[in-house]
Amino acid sequence: MLKKILLAVVIVILLIQVPFIYRRYKLHRLSAVIQQINFQRTAIPLSEQYREYKGVIHVHSFLGGHSSGTFSDIIAAAKANELNFVIMTEHTEADFDTAAMTLKGVHADVLFINGNETAAANGDRLLALPEGVSIVAYPEEFKNWDTPGLAGVEVYNVYTNTRKANPVKAFFDVLWSHRAYPDLLFALYYERPNESLKQWDQALAHSKLTATPGNDAHANIGVSLRDGTGKTLAGIQLDPYATSFRLVRLHALTDAAKALDAVQLLNALKSGHCFIGFDLFGDTSGFNFEASTSGQTRIQGDEIPFQNDLRLRIQTPVASRIVLFKDGSVILNESGIATKEFAVSERGVYRVEVYLPQIEQIIGEKPWIISNPIYIR
C-alpha cells in the first residue's frame, strides 16, 4: 500500500512539472528564433544629422539601500552589454547626497549620468536627473500629473512587470530554465504595459512627454549563503546587472556632429529623440520613425506643421508587424513589412509599436519597439 502511495505521489509530482518542462521547451524555440532575427537584421542608414546610442535608465547601487551592487559590477555589466550610457537613479538618503556620490562621467568608455529616484509625500515617484529633467516613475501609481516640469514617463518598468508573476510558477520556471536561459526567463512574464501606455496617451493630448523604459536594476533578487565576512559561499542571483541590462534599453538619437556627453543625452531625452527597444528579443538598433514634407523632415519627439504632402515613414531592422497609433487609437496594423509609408490626412499625435510575429507564435503578443510620438499640429 505504501509503495502505491509513493508511486502516486511521484506521478503527481511529475505531472505537475510537465507545464514547466514545456515552458522550458518554448524558451529553447524562442532562443533559436531570436538568433535568426539578429542574423536577418538589415542595417538602416541613419540620417546624417543623428547618431544612435543605446543604454539603460533607472539603475541603483548600494548607495541608496535595496541593493548590494557595486560600481564595479555596474561598469562591468554595461561594458559586457556594449552599452553607450547608463543613467543612475539612486534612492535618496537623509544624511548624504546619493546622486552626487554615484557613478557619473565616463568609465570604461560608458557614459554615466547621476540622478535620484525621489518620493513625494503622496507617494508619487520621480526620476530626477541633471539639467532639471524629471521622469514619472511607476505611472500606474502616479497621482499629480500637474507636477510642473515633467519631461517624460516611464511607460515600462521591469520590476512592475515581474512582480505580477505568480511566485509558485516563477519558482518552478527558475528551477527548470534559469541555468540554460537566465535572460529569456523574463520573456515568460513580459507583458505590454497597457495601463501605463493608456495614461501616457491621455497625457499626450495636452503635453509633450517622452516615453522611457525602466530597468529598475538592483541586483538584489535571489538566494545566497554567506559566511561571517559577507562572502558568498553559494547561491543564485536572478537579476544580476548583466541580465537586467539585456532586457530593455533606451535608444537615443543625438547630434551626429557632437560627441556623446551628458548634455547631448539629456537633450535627446527631453526632446523625445529616443525609443524603447526590448532588445532581449533582438537588436532594435536602426529603427526609424520620421515625418517629412517636400521641405522638411522631423523625427520622433518633434513637432511638424500639417501639410497636404505630409507622410510618415517607419523602418524596422527586420520584417515585423507595425502598429501605428493616432491620439491613442490604432489606425494601421500591418504584418510582414520592414518599411511603411503613411499619408497623413489629419493633425494629431502619432506613435508606433512594433511586434515580431515569429515571437508572437511562441509566447504571444509582446511589443518589440515602442516609439516616441511625432506631433502633427
Residues 108 and 207 in one domain: yes
In this model, does residue 307 exceed pLDDT 60? yes
In this model, does residue 219 exceed pLDDT 50? yes
Task: Answer yes or no: is 131 within a domain.
Answer: yes
Residues 146 and 258 in one domain: yes
Residues 218 and 88 in one domain: yes
CA 98, CA 103: separation in Å to the nearest integer?
10
The residue ranges of DSSP E strands in the chain, in sequence order, are 50-59, 85-91, 105-107, 110-119, 125-129, 133-137, 150-157, 210-214, 222-226, 232-237, 249-255, 274-277, 288-292, 297-299, 303-304, 311-326, 329-343, 348-355, 367-370, 374-376
Q: Average model confidence (pLDDT) for the chain?
A: 91
In this model, does residue 224 exceed pLDDT 70? no
The CA–CA distances, whole Å, from 177 to 25, 26, 32, 228, 238 equal 9, 10, 15, 31, 11
Q: Give pLDDT, residue 236.
A: 66
Residues 159 and 97 in one domain: yes
Residues 119 and 53 in one domain: yes
Q: Give pLDDT, residue 24.
A: 92
In this model, does residue 124 exceed pLDDT 50? yes
CA 190, CA 34: separation in Å to the nearest integer?
16
The residue among 220 and 292 whose pLDDT is bigger is 292
Task: Answer yes or no: is 3 within a domain.
Answer: no
CATH number of the domain where residue 357 is located: 2.60.40.10
Task: Answer yes or no: is 38 within a domain.
Answer: no
Query: Number of C-alpha atoms within 13 angstroms, CB side, residue 109?
Result: 7
Q: Which of 246, 263, 282 is the last residue of a domain?
A: 282
Residues 298 and 352 in one domain: yes
Grid cell, residue 214, equals 525602466
Instruction: State the amino acid at position 338 in one-letter form.
Output: A
Number of domains in the chain: 2
Task: Answer yes or no: is 24 within a domain.
Answer: no
Residues 230 and 303 in one domain: no
CATH number of the domain where residue 98 is located: 3.20.20.140
Residues 134 and 206 in one domain: yes
Other CB atoms within 10 A of residue 281 CB? 26
CA 284, CA 39: separation in Å to the nearest integer?
13
Other CB atoms within 10 A of residue 215 CB? 27
Q: Which of 282, 299, 325 is the last residue of a domain?
A: 282
Q: Which residues pair with 374 in a beta bridge?
A: 350
Residues 211 and 350 in one domain: no
The CA-based angle 189-247-55, given to 5 degrees, is: 150
CA 22, CA 180: separation in Å to the nearest integer?
14
Task: Answer yes or no: is 229 within a domain.
Answer: yes
Dihedral of the alpha carbons of 191, 192, 196, 200, in degrees to the nearest 10: 160
Which domain, by its residues, includes 330? 286-377
CA 88, CA 283: separation in Å to the nearest integer?
23
Grid cell, residue 289, equals 520613425
Q: Give pLDDT, residue 233.
A: 45
Residues 374 and 359 in one domain: yes
Task: Answer yes or no: is 167 within a domain.
Answer: yes
Residues 250 and 311 in one domain: no
Out of 115-119, 132-136, 181-185, 221-225, which region has the weakest mean confidence (pLDDT)?
A: 221-225
Task: Answer yes or no: is 2 within a domain.
Answer: no
Residues 139 and 222 in one domain: yes
